[in-house]
């Protein structure tokens, strides 16, 4: 008999570079690197510089998505040529469908970015919606739109897996 026990993933430990610990004091939020923000002391969590850093990061991401959407519109307009070969036509249509699905995901991400920017304005950014605990700089660097701590997200995913919510 084989056991199909659920194996919890090991939390990824992110090493802080002590050499970068004070770099944030002399730089603007736009000049800070991910490593410098990560090296900030825990006592400075979601201070004004970190909020400005994440605002800048979210606005950059939003700009990239909007630029990409514009390119998609142009690409779809250019590719409206009638192709007589059914296989070629099917390939073009499949590429268009894939591109549109990608843009749909990006559209949903834009909504999350706007929500995250509003959370920065309200002072809620960086704190878990369920527990109120800090989400953590490392998680926010990986997913700037995160609203749940890693533990809360794992609990939610486990519930969804078990109960199909």
User: Quick one: which of 153, 140, 130 has its CA closest to 50?
Assistant: 140
Mean confidence (pLDDT) of the chain? 82
pLDDT computed for residue 6 by the predictor: 41
pLDDT computed for residue 136 by the predictor: 93
pLDDT computed for residue 2 by the predictor: 39
Per-residue burial over 5-23, b = 16 or more CB atoms within 10 Å of its CB, e = otherwise = eeeeeeeeeeeeeeebeeb
| Interacting residues of 68 by C-beta distance below 8 A, sequence separation 6+ | 103, 106
Task: Give pLDDT < 50 ranges for the chain.
Answer: 1-13
* Residue 98 DSSP label: H
Task: Name the strand (E) or helix (H) holding 72.
Answer: helix 48-78
The Cα 2–Cα 55 span in angstroms is 49
* pTM of the complete model: 0.74
């Amino acid at each position: 008999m084989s056991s199909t026990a659920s194996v919890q993933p090991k939390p990824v430990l992110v090493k802080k570079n002590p050499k970068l610990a004070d770099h944030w004091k002399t730089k603007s939020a736009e000049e800070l690197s991910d490593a410098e923000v990560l090296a900030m002391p825990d006592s400075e969590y979601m201070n004004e510089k970190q909020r400005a850093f994440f605002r800048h990061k979210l606005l950059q991401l939003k700009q990239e998505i909007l630029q990409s959407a514009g390119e998609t519109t142009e690409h779809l307009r250019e590719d409206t040529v009638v192709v007589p070969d059914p296989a070629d036509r099917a390939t073009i249509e499949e590429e268009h469908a894939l591109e549109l699905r990608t843009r749909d995901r990006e559209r949903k991400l834009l909504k999350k970015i706007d929500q995250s920017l509003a959370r920065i304005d309200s002072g809620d950014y960086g704190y878990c919606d369920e527990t109120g605990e800090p989400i953590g700089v490392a998680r926010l660097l990986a997913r700037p739109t995160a609203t749940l701590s890693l533990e809360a997200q794992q609990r939610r995913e486990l519930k969804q897996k078990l109960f199909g919510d």
